[in-house]
Amino acid sequence: KNEVEQSPQNLTAQEGEFITINCSYSVGISALHWLQQHPGGGIVSLFMLSSGKKKHGRLIATINIQEKHSSLHITASHPRDSAVYICATKSGSRLTFGEGTQLTVNP
Amino acid sequence: DAGVTQSPTHLIKTRGQQVTLRCSPISGHKSVSWYQQVLGQGPQFIFQYYEKEERGRGNFPDRFSARQFPNYSSELNVNALLLGDSALYLCASSLGPSGAYEQYFGPGTRLTVT
């Protein structure tokens, strides 16, 4: 069983919709990352957070340390948001990754 | 400023061969981590190096080895390649080894073992 669980695995939305991707983890962590991976493999770090909430443009990430849960929200989604979104927890020297959520935003 | 660079971009090898993958971190970053991403799965941690010393190792066999050079670049070596080693190998650099530092990923090297 992966220590980091994401849901949903796949998500299809219409342009403009509000999107939420969830991440749950089972062990104590020092930080949690939200990453975006486009076809071809390149990974971009969206957020690193250890408490509370961060916002960057249309993206919002929240974390609840007590509940061991984080969410990534995308407001006013756009087809260019289509990608795999990966949650990763940092504990000690390593990152542990979720399986990713494949997001497709249709025009 | 240049980001994390990896070479080669793509590589095809035969079972039993050996491969060396290279990573150059962002200037000023002293920590390099390696990850393996099999198609359809999330990345798996292989190694972390900081100041030329191994700081962490994932659940990979001894066929996998790595090192970090004085200029903080790194090489990942895989011996006796198996079909299951086919994957995207990602390198990430950060200022330091702890969770306080954000990791920046390179574009990856796609290894195909036939």
B73 compared with A39, residue with greater pLDDT: B73
Contact list in A for residue B37 (CB cut-off 8 A) is 41
The residue in chain B having the minimum alpha-carbon distance to the alpha carbon of residue A86 is B42
How many other CB atoms sit within 10 Å of the CB of residue A2? 13
Burial of residue B10 (CB within 10 Å: 0-12, 13-18, 19+) is: exposed
Q: Which residues pair with A92 in a beta bridge?
A: none
Interface test with B, best of A93, A96, A101, A102 (most B CBs within 10 A): A93
B11 to chain A, any CB pair closer than 8 A? The answer is no
> What stretches of chain A adopt beta strand conformation (E)?
4-7, 10-14, 19-25, 31-37, 43-49, 52-56, 59-64, 69-74, 83-91, 94-97, 101-106
B86 to chain A, any CB pair closer than 8 A? The answer is no
Nearest Cβ partner for B110 among A41, A43, A91: A41
The residue in chain A having the minimum alpha-carbon distance to the alpha carbon of residue B101 is A48
Distance CA A47, CA B78 (A): 31
- Of the pLDDT bands very low, low, confident and very high (cuts 50, 70, 90), residue B100 is confident
Query: Residue A63: what pLDDT?
Result: 96
Contact list in B for residue A96 (CB cut-off 8 A) is 45
Mean pLDDT for all residues in chain A: 93
**Residue for token pair 């990791």:** B103
Q: Which two tokens stand for residue B22?
A: 């290279």
- Of the pLDDT bands very low, low, confident and very high (cuts 50, 70, 90), residue A1 is low
Distance CA B68, CA B92 (A): 13
Cβ neighbours of residue A39 under 8 Å, at least 6 residues apart?
none
Annotate A24-60 with b (16+ C-beta within 10 A) or e (fewer): bbeeebebbbbbbbeeebbbeebbbbeeeeeeeeebb
pLDDT, tens only, B59-86: 999 999 999 999 999 999 999 999 999 9
